[in-house]
Amino acid sequence: MTTSTTNDVLLRAHQAGLFDGVRASGIVGIWRTGLLAAATWLLLGLITLRWPNKEVGFSDWAFTDEFGYAAVAVAVLLTALAVAGDRAGRVAQLLRPAGQWLVAAPLLLGVWEILTAKLGVLPTPFFAPPQSLIEVYSEDWRRLGISTGYSLRLLVHGFAAGGLVGFLVGATIGWSRVAGYWVHPVLRFLGPVPASALLPLAFFFAPSSYAAAVFLIALATSFPVAVLTWSGVASVNKSYYDVARTLGASEWFLILRVAIPAALPQVFVGLFMGLGAAFSVLVTAEMMGVKAGLGWYLQWAQGWAAYSNMYAALIVMAILCSSLITLLFKVRDRALSWQKGTVKW
């Protein structure tokens, strides 16, 4: 029997409902990776609840039971979704791509729990078990939330200013030979200098510590955006300009409707690179003179040897960075939707 004939037979059997009983019985659609993930989360919960914590100079690690019960609850939820299979709906569709991570996460948390709370191999206070993060988020959420808000405001201001300046500079030197002659050497000379190296000058000349921090983040963002915008504008196919001039396009039309749209893919690459540079400068800038922010929070926690608070702040910073990158991807997809046939996605 050929492949096409087999496919026709399966299609007709499906249309006739011959597989409905098999699917209803649960034979088809069981999420096996979900069952494995449920087993690993259950193992993490049992380790946390049944294995006594090692004494570390005080009574016990707080929120140990809560962490264990939460792991067991996740195991129960994953079991239900795995057994439901295709009937679990959209929730299962969202979780299935992350199935392997759902298996790896409890294994990593289990190793972390064993090395800290159970065996004490990693010394305190430099290392703390996972449940210590729950304690930080439950008791110090207000200060951590305020610091996150301050960092987000500072990052948005600096990134927006640096992205705009870098885009304008890159587009100018990419289009104009005169501007490229004068600005390009300065950009190559000052651009590679780390923004944090200019920290003393920024705080000396800026009217406030917040303005100095915005300037440093903008400086770190503007260089990759300017370089890649310039490269994108300079590498536009010359035939596009010839066709537009033949149709009577003006100079501004060539810049706004030909050069810049064609360079947008590289502009967004520069924005992604600038966002990473902005985050690296953010921590340094907030450690000098500001009254709140994740960088300030890290310095404050280090001063009190509250390393659990440091780890909690680092996780918040990672989530914030990941969320902004995802948002930037959404903006890029929307802005370049008309180029899907020519841009690699």
Domain layout of the chain by residue ranges: 13-123, 141-337
Closest Cα partner for 62 from 140, 121, 135?
A: 135
Q: Is 195's pLDDT higher than 80?
A: no
- The residues, any chain, with a CB within 8 Å of residue 30's CB and separated by 6 or more, are 82, 83, 85
pLDDT tens digit sequence for 106-120: 999 999 999 999 988
Instruction: State the fold for domain 141-337.
Output: MetI-like fold (1.10.3720)
Q: Is 190's pLDDT higher than 90?
A: no
**CA-to-CA distance for 274 and 220, rounded, in angstroms?**
7
Residue showing tokens 């890029």: 332
pLDDT tens digit sequence for 222-272: 999 999 999 888 888 888 787 888 888 788 888 888 888 888 999 999 999
Q: Residue 27: which pLDDT band, with cuts at 50, 70 and 90?
A: very low
Residue type, 267: V
Q: Residue 28: which pLDDT band, with cuts at 50, 70 and 90?
A: very low
